[in-house]
Structure formats: C-alpha cells, structure tokens
Amino acid sequence: MCIKGYLKEKTCILITHQIQFLANVDHILLMENASIKSTGSYHELIDYGFDFSKLLGFPEETIVESHIKCENANKKKLNTNHTLSRSGDNIKSFINRDTVKPMKEEEAHCSGHVSKKIYLSYYSSCGSIIKIVFVVLIFTLGQVITAFDDIWISVWVNEEENIFRNVNNTISLNSTLMDHGSFDQRNNWTSNLRFIPRSPIYGHLAASVQGLITVRAHKTEKFLIQEFDKHQDFHSSAWFTFISINQAFGFWTDYVCLIYMSIVTLSFLFMEKYITGANVGLTITQLISLVGSAQWGLRQSVLLESEMTSVERVNEYSNLPQETTLQSAQDKFSSKGWPNRGKIMFQHFSLRYSKDAPNILKNLNFTIEPKEKVGIVGRTGAGKSSIIAALFRLAFNEGKIFIDETEIHSLGLHELRSKISIIPQEPILFSGTMRTNLDPFGEYPDHTLWDALDKIELKRTIENLPGGLDTKMSGSGSNFSVGQRQLVCLARAIIRNNKILVLDEATANVDLQTDALIQNTIRNHFETCTVLTIAHRLNTVMDSDKIIVMEEGRMVEFDHSYNLLKNKDGYFYKMVEQAGQFTANSFKRIAAEVELITSYKSIKTKLLV
C-alpha cells in the first residue's frame, strides 16, 4: 500500500527475502554469490520456467515424504541425550517489542536537600565506624595544631586575660553564616538541572550515529542538527545557571563575612577598658582565619551537596525492583526431569510491561499439547513476542501458565528459564571461542559439539578455521554472517535438547536457503519437542501442527492451518491471500499436506492402542 500508493511517483528499490512481493514489482534482479543470476519481470521469469517455489524455501520433496523419511531415521537411531539448558542469556532482546505505544519516561529527579539516608549510605560504604571516627579525629587534631601557634603568641606576650573571651563572637559568626544555609537548597536543584539535560544529548547523538545511513538517505541532516542544538542549548543554559548561582553564592558569602569582620573590629573601640592589644591582635588574626575557613567550609558543603546527587543516583539504581526468587525451595519442587512432556497451558492470562501500562496480552486461554509445533502469527504489535515474554516471566503476568501441570509462577526464574531454549531474532554470540559460544559452561564433550555443528551444516566451515572450536569470535560474532550466527544459536538448542523450543522470528533476517535449513533441522531434530515459532513469513509456520493468530493482544484464531483456511472471513485466510495468488496456492498445498500427516498420525495412534 505504501510503496504502490504514496511512493508511486518515486523510484523504489526493494531488497527482500520475501518473494511474495515480487509479483507487484516492475523488474527483478536475482543475486547469487555476489553476481546477478537472473533478471526480468515476474511474469517473464515465470515464462522462462523459473521456479519461485524453490526461493520460498519449500523443499523439493513434499511434507509427507519428509515426514516418512524422518520416521525411518528415528527407527534407526533414538535420541537419548537429555541435557540441561541455560538459555537466560538470549531472552532480553524482545521484552519491549510488542508495546502498544512507546512511552517516553522522563528522567527521575528530586528537589530540596539530599536525603540523610543518602549520606548514611555513602558513609556506610566507607567501611567500619572506627575508620570514620579516626579520620574525623585526624582532621580535628590538625585544626587544633593550626590554631595552637596563635594561642602560643598570646601566652608568649604574657597576657593574663582569657583569650577565649570572644568565643561568643565565633558562635555568632557561625550562626550568621548558617542562617544563609538555606541558600544551599538551590544547589540540589541546580545540580539536577546540570545533570539531567545531558541524557537527551547522549541519546540523540547515539541515535543519530546509529541511523546515519537513513539520515543521509532522507536528507534530514538539518533537522537533526536543529534538534541537537535544542538539547545543547538547554544543557548550556542549565550549566550557565549553575555557574552564575555559584558565583552569586560566593559573593554573598564574602559580603556577609566582610560585614561581620567590620562589626567585630569596630566593637573593639567600645571595649578599650576590657581588652588589650594582644587580645585584639589574636582575635583579628583568628577572625581572618575563621572567615576564610567559614567560606571554604560553606563552599565545600555546597560541593558536597552537589556531588552527593551522584551517590543518590547510584543508590536509586541499586535499589531498583529486583526479579523474583531465582531458585525454588528444595522441599517444594525439584527441576530434575521437568518438563518431561512439554505441555503448555494458558488460563485467563494477561500481560503488561509496567504496573501503570495497559495490558498487551488480554485474557488468553489455550493449550499446546506435548510435541506440537505451533506457529504464532499476527501484525506488528499484535502481541506475538509477548507470549514468549510471558513464558520467561519477563513482565507483569496476570493469570496462570502451566507447563506439564506445574504453574510457572511457583518456580524459581533460573529453573524455569533454563528449561526453555530460545533462538531469538537477533542472534547473540559472545566474545570468546566457538566452543564457549556453543557450550558456555563447559558441560558437553567435543563430539557433542561437532555433532550439533554437523546437523546445521556448519561443521566443515568450523573445521576450516585455523583454531577449529577454539577459533576466536569477534564482538557479537561479527566475523560470521547473520545466517551463520543464527545457525550457531540453533546448534546451542540442539546441544541442550530441552522439551520446549522457542523461535522468536528466528528466520526474519536470514536468506531463504538458511530459512529452509533451519526449518528442516527443527522438523527432524526437534520432533519430540514442543516448538513455538513466531514469524512474519507465513511459509515458516505453514507446516506447523497448529497456528495461533494474534490481533491487538487477543487470540482470535487457534487451529490447524488447513481448518483456518476454510474460513474465508477469518484473519488467517486474509493474511494468506495478501501474499499473492501463487504464494497462497503454495501455502494451501502445504496446509493440505500437514492435515494429511495429522490424520495419518491419528489413525496410527488408534491402531497402536
């Protein structure tokens, strides 16, 4: 709609793996191995005998033939390698993808003085109370020694009067300056004002660099520069305000000290009978020193208040809400051997990503039987990935989810997440070796790793590397293609061999051949597992046992694809028809084959019983 409608007057170049769109383009260039393999219009390529079904990732053999071949292979070799899995490292990439509307969360800030709890937290992090008392005593002793030389001068001139007669003056000075302590209150506000405007600058700069290609393509450099200037002006104005208030505070402190010194000095004119020259000299000397110390002390108190906002922020982050219990009580649940079937049941389930946000998933009720392969489809934002977030307990769950009759909210997070394998849309590889990426905890022997690589057709590629399994991986696995990184994630799942496997749009960013390889591997090596597949490409889920259709957080359809396609007014039927006539016919053929296999399994089960 957008390309053929709003952009119809523009030259559009569409780079895609989804060839159902090709019927609507004017010209096609088919690339293979960095060269052009074929060129022409869609109908010209069809007339030349070009088979687009191969590009769709459909195997040359039918689904039925593939099923029979798989059954024969299973008779020869049974997979008995039941291992533990820890897939928590891959589950953070999709937590916020299905939110209805992005919510801009303003940076938290507070006004007034920094809380006493912040100071206590800061001092307690310094160590024991003995260390703190020792430091205070050292500073006190230093101040006493500094003042002792002036006191000694007074004794040296043999004055018998009490040199501390002006102690009240000292107290008065302290009270006068502390009366202006309320002036410090502005510091916490300006401190926050100084730090908070930095975040938008950093965020804007990072987003601009990340999307630089798009920015240049749309020629929006001026707009982004203006946006950056606004953020920078706001930050500069806050910084200027902070400096100006500091200067005003310094001037005010000097002014108050000058008035006080003048009053004390002039007061000696009226105290000639009660004070001597030695005491006057000592008092003025101490007064000058005290005024300097008072100014320094006040400035340091302002600086302390300013810097304590950093401690306040650290405290705020360290006290963020934590996830629930990681391990279940040993007397309540034992994760050994669980789950042994892979049955999943949602009962009156809803999900939201924050306490104040609206529900993303709304009253879901469905049951996925053991070993079933279930596809989850729907428009962007329909709630597909949120179902996976619910399984991993990554948000605020309301309702119940059962896995093999065990309610998942009664389990520890490590126990739950370690029993579900996931292959995310964005493949996650770590800096390290291929071995540590396949087996991060060193739990499996080399032959298990090589066997998994062989199943995903990466064994020869890894063998040809200089270090084999010990080959160093670049950051995020950048020395491998996206498809290869996705296959490595698939190998992890093969090694761990859990009863539940989740594919979160795992083939959205790979070519059609890699997509077909992943689908065939899942079909052959995860036959005894429950598999949930989230996909935008319908061809990746057409051979599933059942399909869940999501719309605005609700499950609107749940059945075999063959049955869903019988309803011409249904959501799934309309999605298939939008793929084009040729592709829709291919989908219907696959759905019919899947229905045939399901019937065959049902009859076989009844005969065995």
The predicted structure's pLDDT at residue 213: 86
Roughly how many angstroms between the first and final C-alpha of the chain, as a whole number? 53
Tens digits of residue pLDDT in 475-495:
677 778 778 888 888 888 888
Distance CA 209, CA 197 (A): 19
Helix segments in 157-271, DSSP class H: 167-179, 185-195, 198-210, 212-218, 221-267
Percent of the chain exceeding pLDDT 90 equals: 9
DSSP 8-class letter at 61: S
Q: How many CA atoms lie within 13 A of 238 on its CB side?
A: 18
Whether residue 427 contacts residue 482, with contact meaning beta carbons closer than 8 Å, is answered with yes
Q: How many CA atoms lie within 13 A of 375 on its CB side?
A: 24
Q: How many of the other CB atoms lie within 10 Å of CB of 519? A: 23
- The residues facing 396 across adjacent strands are 352
pLDDT: which is higher, 99 or 40? 40
The predicted structure's pLDDT at residue 555: 93
Sign of CA dihedral 182, 183, 189, 191: negative
Residue 240 pLDDT class (50, 70, 90 cuts)? confident
**Three state DSSP letters for 455-516:** HCCCHHHHHCCCCHHHCEECHHHCCCCHHHHHHHHHHHHHHHCCCEEEEECCCCCCCHHHHH
The predicted structure's pLDDT at residue 238: 82
Residue 328 has pLDDT above 50, yes or no: yes
- Summary count for the chain: helices (H), strands (E): 21, 14
Global model pTM greater than 0.85? no
The predicted structure's pLDDT at residue 110: 55
Whether residue 483 contacts residue 510, with contact meaning beta carbons closer than 8 Å, is answered with yes
Residue 24 pLDDT class (50, 70, 90 cuts)? confident
Report which secondary-structure segment, H or E, holds 24.
none
Structural domains of the chain, with CATH: 2-50 (no CATH), 64-99+330-429+480-608 (3.40.50.300), 157-318 (1.20.1560.10)
Question: How many residues are there in the chain?
Answer: 609
Most confident of 275-289, 357-371, 514-528, 575-589: 357-371
- The residues facing 38 across adjacent strands are 30
Rg of the chain (C-alpha set): 36
Whether residue 246 contacts residue 239, with contact meaning beta carbons closer than 8 Å, is answered with no
- Closest by alpha carbon to 101, among 483, 324, 327, 360? 360
Whether residue 249 contacts residue 177, with contact meaning beta carbons closer than 8 Å, is answered with no
Three-state secondary structure call for residue 277? helix
Distance CA 532, CA 311 (A): 45
Residue 270 pLDDT class (50, 70, 90 cuts)? confident
Residue 82 has pLDDT above 80, yes or no: no
**Phi, psi angle pair for 456, to nearest 5°:** -100, 10
Residue 163 pLDDT class (50, 70, 90 cuts)? very low
Whether residue 53 contacts residue 42, with contact meaning beta carbons closer than 8 Å, is answered with no
Residue 408 has pLDDT above 70, yes or no: yes
Whether residue 302 contacts residue 184, with contact meaning beta carbons closer than 8 Å, is answered with yes
Residue 444 has pLDDT above 60, yes or no: yes
DSSP 8-class letter at 25: -
Residue 456 has pLDDT above 80, yes or no: yes
pLDDT: which is higher, 332 or 403? 403
Tens digits of residue pLDDT in 145-158:
766 766 665 565 55
Distance CA 506, CA 514 (A): 11
- Closest by alpha carbon to 344, among 312, 304, 377, 376? 376
The predicted structure's pLDDT at residue 235: 84
Mean per-residue pLDDT for 562-571? 89
DSSP 8-class letter at 526: S
Distance CA 472, CA 599 (A): 49
Residue 77 pLDDT class (50, 70, 90 cuts)? very low
The predicted structure's pLDDT at residue 549: 93
The pairing of beta strand 420-423 with beta strand 472-473: unpaired
Residue 189 has pLDDT above 70, yes or no: no
**Phi, psi angle pair for 214, to nearest 5°:** -65, -40
The predicted structure's pLDDT at residue 95: 35
The predicted structure's pLDDT at residue 331: 54
- Burial tier of 201 (Cβ tally within 10 Å: 0-12, 13-18, 19+): middle
Token digits of residue 384: 């597909």
Query: How far from the centroid of its chain's Cα atoms is residue 354's Cα?
Result: 14
- The residues facing 35 across adjacent strands are 32
- The residues facing 557 across adjacent strands are 549
Mean per-residue pLDDT for 401-428? 86
Mean per-residue pLDDT for 381-408? 90
Distance CA 509, CA 418 (A): 26
Q: How many of the other CB atoms lie within 10 Å of CB of 45? A: 17
pLDDT: which is higher, 35 or 393? 393
Sign of CA dihedral 521, 524, 526, 531: positive
Helix segments in 58-197, DSSP class H: 63-76, 116-124, 129-156, 167-179, 185-195
The predicted structure's pLDDT at residue 93: 39
Place of tokens 């096609």: 28
One-letter amino acid at 321 equals: P
Residue 197 pLDDT class (50, 70, 90 cuts)? confident
